[in-house]
Chain A
Amino acid sequence: MNTSEARYGGGVTLLLFILIFLPLLAVLINVIFPGLFFGQVKSSSLGLIGEIWNRPLWKQSLLNSVTLALGTATIGTIIGGVLATIRARWDFAAVKLLDMTAWVLLIAPSFMIAQGWVLFAGSDGLAHQWLGQTWVTSFIFQPAGLVFVMSLSKFPLAYLAITAASEWNIRQFGYAARLNGARPFTVWRTVEMPLALPSYVAGWTLVFMDTIGDFGLPAALATVYKFPTLTYSIYSAIYQSPVRFDMAGVLAFYLVLILVLAMTLLMVTLGKSRFDFLNARAVQIEKVRPRKAWLYNLLITIFLFMSLGIPIGTSAVVSLLKQAGGGLTPGNFTLDHYRELFSGQAGDHRLLGYLEGMYHSLIIAAAAALFSMLIGFVVAYMLTFTESRLKPLLQLFSIISLAVPGVVLGIGYIFIWNQKWLEPLGLHLYGTPSLIVIAGIAGAIPYAVRVQLGAFGNLSGTMLKAAAIQGASVFERMRDIVLPLARQSLLIATLASFGTSVFDLALASMLKPANYSLMPLVIDRAFEFSRYGYATAATVVSCGAVVLMIILLQAAGRLGFRWLDRNKS
């Protein structure tokens, strides 16, 4: 459009390239030239790519990942679809609860959910010890059980994608059909379903991608159940001896390949339309109160109890017990684990220092959220309101990090940022918290971009053109027109990415500086050392604190905006 816009476009494209694409590229390059990033040039045969079929561990990981992701995507989409359909049509009390649970599950890190399940279903877990249900253990710790657990925690992606689609656009067709005498089910089958299909596919792909790229759940389950997945094998290829960076690269290559296929499916189905999950323009339509509202309320509540109540509830209960397997007696209850959290003494290892870890995590997440929002704003602006030639590249880069799991991003960051020549430049960021911030920004950008695209989609470009004609610069257009109109969703985007980066286990475990305590690591380690009370108390406090913070900041934002508006007028 004009040179200054091109410069902005170029700037953010370069930034996304460095933050997101370059690390991925480094991982893939390492497959072809292993050792390149250690300053040695060794040629490699591409035969390594095929080695995945020869090593049982890697082959099994690939198969496990694909099975898990396919199963979870399918069941998660069914659950999400049913719930979204009910949600779009009926009005009953549990709806609010459903929405809230969906968001909590979306933000809650999968390793915490997994730990809750392990404590519930493990051989010394609550189901076993208290309820006497021995079948729970054998049901959960097998592939189908994992699909079940994953579906219960990943369905919100499908739910939100489908809800977003079934809440607008298609009502009038449904009314037309109803006027012509069609029954609700017929309307759903012949009108709504076909129109909603893209959103189902979108939901399915999102769940699929999120599951196959998930690190937390396999990491948490690794202590109790042998079910290697791609992400965990990538992590273990570089965090065990013998170290196989080359093989980690190959595994990452397969992972990215699968994700690209899923993404292509998504793109083809959606045509050129945008991803509409996580958006802020839910149009409220009048909903009908169902005749048997109590039944809906009951069923939904039971379901939510299973998906969120079991894992979180188990953690909460265990955090109050002296001995996890000790039974439900008054003598077994204690607040010691909480006291220990705040006493600052963590026992054997300094890495278990909770308060310090929490403080570090909060600061890092806040910085990552702020910057990702800022960059996301410029990217979304470029994508929505300009004709920049860099648009396809921006699209690509901003989506890629959605597809690149934290573990892969993590190795790429080690390759790139632990280079000797960066030291004299003062840019040797490996082993400093800044690198976790940068990686966090990279991880949060796709979400920031998507949310803001959703918000900007409602704005008309004509205002901007008018402003441009009047001589307003790009910066003025951003500041005075787009920002005020989109600020509410900006705030939500920032808070959401804050919520997710606080708990990011994969990047934290790969990039943390020596002896640097971070909250997800504290929890994970305590769990690994079998200090369940400490781990669960930390989980409860962290989740509570982050949710509280998000609620407060949102309220503060609302008040602040109102105050601003009053002062302006």
Chain B
Amino acid sequence: MNKKRGFQHRIFIALIVLMCLLSACAQSDGQQTVRSKEMTGPINGGSGSTAGQSDLSLTSEDAEDTGETIYLYGNDFVDYIAPKFTEETGFKLEAVHYGGGEALAKIEAEQGNPQWDVLMMDGHGSVRNLADRDFLLTDWEPENLGNLSESGRSYVPEDFSYFPVGIHAAGVIAYNTTLVTPEKAPTTWEQFFAYDGPVGHADPAVAAPAYPLVSAFFEQWGVETAEQKYEQRFEAGLHVYPKNGPVGKALLSGEIEVAALQEHNAYELKNAGEPIEVIWPSEGAPGSLRVVAISKHTKNPVAAKAFVEYMLKPETQQMLTNLDSTDSFFTPLAEGVMARSEREPNGAFMLPSAKWASEHEVEIKTWFADQNVR
């Protein structure tokens, strides 16, 4: 009898042992962090401890934190910024790369038990939406907010639920020079929508900069007119790709002739010597505001706040615009930081208000997805 029961138990024990083994191996990979009280607050040493006053003021509050690794969900810079931040401040940060839609979905999926601490992504409308639904920490004013330029300050919401870091073009007009002559190429968005030939852009439900792109048109023209223009555009040939990478690829292969392409991708292709020309429309490029926000349920508010302060520092932003990566194409919002010289120096932005973009998010995305299959 004992033997019989033994076998059955062995299966369960084996399963449990396996789970433990696996979670142990995950811990060593830094996926799941050990609950230990050994580390409360920043590691001192390195260049970090002298990094600025904001850090000093933070250490005094460190009793709040568990000292665990905090998680950043983001769509740009993630691999780069995490080690830099840890090196300078001592707080442990694990950055997870997601597409914009993916990050929002993940946050939604985890709402019963959030696994993230800080969010950094394009699209202030979507982040406003999270704030309105009480996902974000509010009413905390970072000290480094004073570093922001005038336009930067104008993007800061009253409830301090998120903080603007940079802005870039969610879409500039890019065309394939082997297929389109400069005379024929559209130079305004009206012309883009009226272009006689296949055009394309990324899917607002999936790619982070694509909702800012689409919502800018909807706000500019009004929902009804924008829907009409898109309906016509779909009929005349509008290819929608999940992300901007495939849009660029399709532009090169000739599947589409003109694209509303995120500026990173557009300049990357142009600088690589591909037959691509970039136009920054004079009425402005739909802007994609990159913001940082803290989870309301973070167990490590001190570390999370330190990250926000870090992102608002001119030094950090300068470092990011100096990066040898296309991510560095953006307009920094801290005062006195130089942007990349290769891009349009006086490019204007079309940016719907966060409130408007947030309120129309579901409606526009749903409408768009449905148009796309018709």
Contact = CB atoms under 8 A, between A and B. Distances in A.
Given A243-B104, A348-B79, A418-B109, A123 B254 contact: yes
Contacts of A236: 205-206
Interface string A11-42: 10001000000000000000000000111000
Contacts of B95: 515
Interface in A107-150: 122-124
B298 to A, nearest CB: 15
A241 B105 contact: yes
Interface string B95-124: 111001110110011111101000000000
A478 B109 CA distance: 43
Contacts of B6: 475
B18 A434 contact: yes
B240 interface: yes
Given A429-B19, A433-B26, A475 B4 contact: yes
A494 to B, nearest CB: 15
Contacts of A371: 14-15, 18
A562 B11 CA distance: 27
A367 B22 contact: yes
Contacts of B25: 433
B31 interface: yes
B241 interface: yes
B112 A418 contact: yes
Contacts of A56: 370-371, 373-374
B242 interface: yes
Contacts of A528: 242-243, 245-246
A530 B104 CA distance: 24
Contact of B246 (A15, A60, A223, A515): A223
Contacts of B12: 11
Contacts of A430: 113, 115
Interface stretch (B150-158, B168-176, B333-341, B360-368): B360-368
Interface string B242-276: 11011011101111000000000000000000000
A240 B206 contact: yes
Given A7-B5, A57-B370, A475-B3, A239 B23 contact: no
Contact of B101 (A39, A60, A240, A351): A240
Contacts of B346: none
Given A223-B242, A241-B104, A243-B104, A513 B97 contact: no
A374 B14 CA distance: 11
A309 interface: no
B246 A242 contact: no
Interface string B3-40: 11111100110110011001101100111100000000
A37 B12 CA distance: 26
A39 B19 contact: no
A224 to B, nearest CB: 8
B102 A57 contact: no
Contact of B8 (A8, A38, A431, A434): A8
Interface residues of B, number: 67
A223 B31 CA distance: 30
A243 B108 contact: yes
Nearest to B325: A348
B3 A473 contact: yes
B31 A513 contact: yes
Contacts of B115: 418, 430-431, 514
Interface string B341-374: 0000000000000000000011001100111111
Interface string B297-326: 000000000000000000000000000010
A523 interface: no
Nearest to B95: A515
A419 interface: yes
B68 interface: no
B163 interface: no
**Most chain A CB atoms below 10 A, which of B23, B29, B71, B113:** B113
A48 B230 CA distance: 28
A367 B109 contact: no
Nearest to B123: A241
A122 B249 CA distance: 12
Nearest to A14: B12
A262 interface: no
B274 to A, nearest CB: 11
28 contacts: A7-B4, A8-B4, A56-B370, A57-B372, A57-B373, A226-B240, A240-B365, A241-B100, A241-B105, A241-B108, A325-B253, A349-B97, A364-B22, A371-B18, A375-B11, A433-B23, A433-B31, A434-B19, A474-B7, A475-B3, A478-B7, A514-B71, A515-B31, A515-B96, A516-B26, A528-B245, A530-B245, A530-B246
